[in-house]
Amino acid sequence: MSAATMTKEAEPIATPGTGHEGQTFLVGDEVYLRGAEEGDAKIGMSWRPTLFPVAPELTEEWIKDDLAKDDNSTLMIVRKIDDHVVGSIRVENEGVDHWLAPRIDALYGERGLRWKAEAIVLVARWLIHERGQPVAHLELPGDERIVIEAIEQAGMRQTGRFREMLQRDGLRVDRLEYEYLSPEWMANLGDPNEAPLERTGSGEPRPVPPPVTLDGDPPRNAMMVGKRVYLRPEEPKDGVKAALLARQETETFFDIGRHLTSPVLFEKWINDHQKPDVPSWITFCVCLRENDEPIGWVALLDVDYQNRFAETGSFFGNVAYRGSGYGSEAKQLLLEYAFERLGLHMVQSWVYFQNTRSAAALRKQGYREAGRINWLYPNNGTLDNFVLFDLLAEEWRAMPRKEWEPKADS
């Protein structure tokens, strides 16, 4: 076959408005979806999920390299009447769950929201009703009324609300969690919203320990210092200890069962997190003031510097230091770092349903329940759920400050 014939076959669409003809799925009333093509780079700013300006030449490279090799697929949202690209939707898959990440050119205003809603519904229905997948998840700013009404009408339902997570045009806006569930999976597993969330502990927040005034020098390399513990940067060597502690784990409820992680992997994560100029993971080693022994790990995950929020995480690998308030003391130091030094507006936290102990600790630390995310991981003959929490900086600042006598956590 000659190059000339090939070119003829691959010729771009001649008449505007005919681009969707012949396509058998993912075609809506106003928009249709397709993979990225030559030429989409020219209007990259309409659909590329970035806040920053990128030249078409670089978007072209990005399409050919990064996007082409992405395990997850990104589909263009294209207007039917003139085949103009107005946005994109990324379909992320990690096994049993799918996440839809739509992006529409904000310059289209309300029209854009209408197209965004149509694209979301097209993909959700395709995943669930054609491909038989259990669930499609979606995160959405709480002020997009047009999208909310359309997707709720299509049968998507809200399962979570993170208060004031986003900042849009100078205002704080909630972020909503939506799901679209498979009726076939619902018939076999039941409605996940009816799965009971077990609770332990009183659920009452405790006062925050007041700031510590240091007499002498701070512990070497410390960044936040409390009465009994301090936070310092993680060192690659801490990974070796973490790997050893994982082998000595006695509890199986934090995660699902125990895990063996290589010290090589821990070291790599520590190095990787510290490399970027503006890191998205900020991790600390929790050490005892009395003897500098590392006893745990607290962290801000996926820090969003534009919207000023992050997810909090913590783990105390050493069994001897669990349930004596060390974890809460360290968490309060992390929250002070997040709110007072990094200037975050709020933090979120996700907990496996069966991990009632961590959920109780979060409530005690001042977090509030923000809903749930269903069907994220297989567990015990079903697809299991996460319970969500959030905590606003202003709520944390309003909590009473009082020294507490450490006692058993649960």
Partner 1 sequence: MTETAITTEEPKTPVPGTGHLGQTFLVGDEIYIRAVEPADNAYGQSWTRTILPRSTERYETWIKEEMAKAKRQATYIILRKSDDVAVGSLTTRRWDPVTQVMPWVDPLDGEQGQRWLAEALGMAIPWLVDEQQRPIVKIDVPADGAAVIDRLDAIGARPEVRFREMLRTWGGRTDLLLFEYLNRPWVDRLGDPRDVPLERSGTGEPRPVLAPLILDGDPPANAVKVGHRVYLRPVEKKDAAQIARWTRQETETFWDAGRFMHSTHGYAAWETDQQKKEPRTWVNFAVCLRENDELIGTLGVDGVDYVHGFAETGSLINRPEYRGAGYGSEAKHLLFDYAFNTLNLHALQSFVIYPNTRSAAALRKQGYQEAGRLHWDFASFGKFENFICFDLLAADWRRMPRADFVAAGPDEERA
**C-beta closer to partner 1: residue 67 or 147:** 67
Q: How far apart are CA 47 and CA 62, in angstroms?
A: 13
| Cβ-based nearer residue to partner 1, 44 or 134 | 134
Work out how close the CB of 320 gets to partner 1 at its nearest, in angstroms, rounded to a whole number: 13
Q: How far apart are CA 108 and CA 30, in angstroms?
A: 14
Other C-beta atoms closer than 10 Å to the C-beta of 224 total: 23
Q: How far is the CB of 250 from partner 1 (least distance, A)?
A: 5
Q: How far is the CB of 122 from partner 1 (least distance, A)?
A: 12
Nearer to partner 1, 255 or 304 (CB): 255
The least CB distance from residue 83 to partner 1, in Å, is 13
Pairing of strands 97-104, 135-141: parallel
Q: Which is nearer to partner 1, 201 or 236 (CB)?
A: 236
Integer Cα distance of 298 and 13 in angstroms:
54
Q: Nearer Cβ to partner 1, position 146 or 246?
A: 246
Closest CA to 193 of 241, 158, 242: 158
Smaller CB separation from partner 1, 147 or 295: 295
HSE-up of residue 232 (Cα within 13 Å, Cβ side): 17
230 phi and psi angles, rounded to 5 deg: -140, 160
- Provide, rounded to whole angstroms, the least separation between the CB of residue 379 and partner 1: 5
Shortest distance (Å) from residue 225 CB to partner 1? 14
Query: Nearer to partner 1 by C-beta: 19 or 142?
Result: 19
Please answer whether residues 329 and 365 qualify as being in contact, where contact means their C-beta atoms are separated by less than 8 angstroms. Answer: no
Give the nearer residue to partner 1 in terms of CB position, either 29 or 66. Answer: 66
**Best CA proximity match to 28, nearest among 100, 81, 67, 74:** 81
C-alpha–C-alpha distance, residues 347 and 335, integer Å: 8
Q: How far is the CB of 90 from partner 1 (least distance, A)?
A: 12
The answer to whether residues 76 and 47 touch, using CB atoms and an 8 Å cutoff, is yes
Q: How far is the CB of 277 from partner 1 (least distance, A)?
A: 22
Angle, helix 109-125 to helix 145-153, in steps of 10 degrees:
30
Q: Rounded CA gap, 74 and 35, in Å?
A: 7
DSSP 8-state class, residue 324: S
